[in-house]
Structure 1
Amino acid sequence: MKVKEVADLVGISVRTLHHYDHIGLLTPEETTESGYRIYSDRDLEMLQQVLFFKELGLPLKKIKEIINSPSFDKKEALELHRKMLLEKRSRMDKMIATIDKTIQHSKGEINISDKEKFEGFDFSHNPYEQEARARFGDKAVGESNSKLGKMSKEQIKSMGADFDAIYKDLAAIRHQAPESDEAQAAIKVWYDYLNKIGSYSLDAFKGLGQMYVEDERFTKNIDKYGEGLAVFMRDSMAVYADENRE
């Protein structure tokens, strides 16, 4: 199958498949004389594995390490995927049941306890939030405020213009795949700029992206430049952080 056919079959972009090839995550077994990538059945099986691992929240760099390991066993991987997805489905079922009970409660049909109102919620699967709030909230903001306090009005005005330009550039490409070369080049500009006014580790940068979506104040301000920009930045920042760890 050609790359466009695979993209249509799977529901991902051609750019994403090109990116997987570029980073050595999934390179088609065959390329025609005219340069077309040809995906074999084996390539499709590996793509399925990649997307399963991605669904479980693993970064592309880690997925590459796993599937290229001599000890990688597709059958064992599928069993792991199944187990994790069953756990995820179980959590979803509990949350649906909680919603149903809450609807009945709001109609006066049943009474539910405060504890029952939150059955199914599990925030332990967001490992970045606590670290992001600690690092971003304390260290990075403290250093940023210190630097801002030493700036002149002209410098602050110039910085505001820089922020505006970066957001506009990102908004212009927000419909592209976060892992695309263009998205990653643009988000690197944001990472480098932030580190001019603060101190952001890759983990803190990734956590900051999470906050862009989880905190509606961030989302509202960022999406003024284009609807969906906050989500695009979150995803692009996550890819950048995961792909640039040593």
Structure 2
Amino acid sequence: MSNNDGLYSTSPSGPQEPHEYTIGEIAELLGVTTRTLRHWDSIGLLSPEYRTWSDYRLYTEDDVDSALEILVYRSAGVPLKDIAELVSEEASPKTRRQRLLTQRNLLVEKIADLRRMVRSLETLLKEDTTMDTEKKAELFGRNWPEYEAEAEQRWGDTPEWQQSQEAQKNMSAGDWAEVKAEMEDFVSSLADAHSRNVAPGSAEAAQLVDRHLASITRFYEAGREKQVLLARMYVADARFDEMYRGHSQYLLDLVEAQARAEGIDPNEAQWR
């Protein structure tokens, strides 16, 4: 067993022992926080095989390989619960190759999607004009016209719809590009918070909830009660859950906890 810093000593005349990493070392190596690694351990996603006499985690080269696999899947937007299934297979040459091919395909799809988005944003920013439905579809996906038509049918006679339409009239293509970028950043932050088990009602959770509300009030007036009802809609509608990468229930938990902290009973929330 290694000493307490987790490193083997090497004899000049003997073979080099396998290297072990402390939690701080592997966190720095992978570019993640120690809190993230502890969470992965607590859910059984990445549990180091060895510990020091002082019960500090020690990570092997195999653990590093597993961690890199997890990061690949996370970068492609795969939920942690699905990643656990993907990395739980036996590491035989055949299954390892299959897993690497799966990761490659996920990243290729992600890269293609990001390149398409960048091209769309560059075009829109050069034009810097107001956007019609066709251009919104280019930026937000080809299903945008369907969503927009459905939204008008459901809420076209509400003050919020009128406020939203008025706000959009004054938005340039650059403004829409900013909306898209902010949404992507928020969803990534939400997914990261969920992976680190950020607790509803915490200070970090409150910041996420306020960021989400700000994205709504960009288009129409809304408070915490409306936010609760919208978050419930995201859970009920699979299309919204997909947009939030499967984290809509977590978002609802955060919003409802913040509502309670502000003296609002989520079960009594009304659209007002």
**Could you tell me the TM-score, scaled by structure 1's length?**
0.49
Larger RCO (CA under 8 A, 6+ residues apart): 1
User: Which structure is higher in helix share?
Assistant: 1
Bigger Rg over Cα: 2
**Could you tell me the TM-score, scaled by structure 2's length?**
0.45
